[in-house]
Amino acid sequence: MKILIFGAGVIGTTCAWQMQEAGHDVTLFVRPLRMVRYSHSGVAINFTDMRGGKKEEGQTVFRPKVIDKLMPSQAFDLIIVSVRSNQWHDALPYVAKYSGKAHILLMGNMWSHPGFVSKYLPRNRYFLGFPGLIAGGQTDNGINCFLFANSFIMLGEPDGEKTERLEKTVELFKTSGLQPLICRKMKDWLPTRYLVSALLPGLISKAGTTSLFVANKTLVKQYLMALKEGVKVCRKRNIGRVSLFPFNRFYLPSFILTGMIRRQFSPEMQSALDAHMKHGGTEKIKQYHDVLRAGKSFRIAMPYWASFEKYMDFS
């Protein structure tokens, strides 16, 4: 399988690194300004790897095959698009136009599927994913990435079918050590997970750091109440229920669920979130307001969610 990863951020670079290490034919799409550096000096990767129940920390230099222009004649079999949620409007039309006959995996935060995607791609050209296994942030000359033990790369078709391309992609991620998991309800799972990505930056910003947020029981309770408001928005958008923590535990008493949420943030997860907070302010603001605007359009009261708006200034 000939693979292109479109998006050289933390997720795309980490996936390309692991796939190349596993012997797969993978190319990384980069911006023209990065072409020379990636081709010659490579990408510096600081990693914390907790897969398999062991913690390994280290540094390496990844020298990927790179391109800065996509053409149908390159004949990729699979294109994995991993960009920030505020970059879909630029990335998707370009990939759709120049991807040839490749299958396209859209991997990342997405709030407006499927209406937005269908403007550019027919249903048989794309499927969906989310890189829950990987987190981190960018550095001056590379990335700082975390690979978690009990997390997964979620993969699925929008209609929940089990297709040949899905099975091949699962095998690709599995042989690369990227812990794939098929989700039959990706069209519902993605917008529900979007709530977490949209809300956490405001809480961390208010607290100062992720560890201070986790230590603050009041803030964690506010996080929980705001997520419940976000779920009301999802229901109005006809987004179904999914088995995703903490949404699948809302029936528990507040004090129990609050404790479970706090335990979810391991020291490594806290470090990954702090690294992530240093970049992508425009994306964070967009995600937060996507949900808030939807709530207002449905006339849903969202006092907890709205209370974090003043902490979403990352300029």
At residue 315, the pLDDT reads 62
Residues 60 and 109 in one domain: yes
Residues 6+ apart with CB under 8 A from 103: 77, 78, 79, 125, 126, 127, 165
Residues 17 and 143 in one domain: yes
Residues 11 and 114 in one domain: yes
Pairing of the two strands 142-147 and 134-138: antiparallel
**How many other CB atoms are there within 10 angstroms of residue 4's CB atom?**
25
Containing structural domain, residue 26? 2-184
**How many other CB atoms are there within 10 angstroms of residue 315's CB atom?**
5
Residues 105 and 21 in one domain: yes
pLDDT tens-digit map of 217-274: 999 999 999 999 999 999 999 999 999 999 999 999 989 999 999 999 999 999 999 9
DSSP assignment of 150-219:
T--EEEE-TT----HHHHHHHHHHHHTT--EEE-TTHHHHHHHHHHHHHHHHHHHHHHSSHHHHHH-HHH
Residues 38 and 168 in one domain: yes
**How many other CB atoms are there within 10 angstroms of residue 195's CB atom?**
24
What integer is the mean pLDDT of 42-71?
94
Mean pLDDT, all residues of the chain: 94
At residue 139, the pLDDT reads 87
Q: pTM of the full predicted structure?
A: 0.95
Rounded (5°) CA angle 195-200-202:
115
Residue 41 has pLDDT above 90, yes or no: no
CA distances from 15 to 6, 8, 124, 306 (A): 11, 10, 24, 35
Residues 173 and 209 in one domain: no
At residue 239, the pLDDT reads 95
Residues 111 and 136 in one domain: yes
Residues 158 and 272 in one domain: no
Pairing of the two strands 126-131 and 65-67: unpaired
Indicate the residue among 159, 184, 209 that finishes a domain: 184
- What CATH number does the domain containing 297 carry? 1.10.1040
Residues 63 and 89 in one domain: yes
What gap in Å lies between CA 234 and CA 241, rounded to an integer?
9
Indicate the residue among 152, 184, 216 that finishes a domain: 184
Residues 81 and 155 in one domain: yes
- What CATH number does the domain containing 126 carry? 3.40.50.720
Pairing of the two strands 43-49 and 142-147: parallel
pLDDT tens-digit map of 95-113: 999 999 999 999 999 998 6
Indicate the residue among 150, 165, 184 that finishes a domain: 184
* Tally of domains within the chain: 2
Residues 142 and 285 in one domain: no
Residues 52 and 13 in one domain: yes
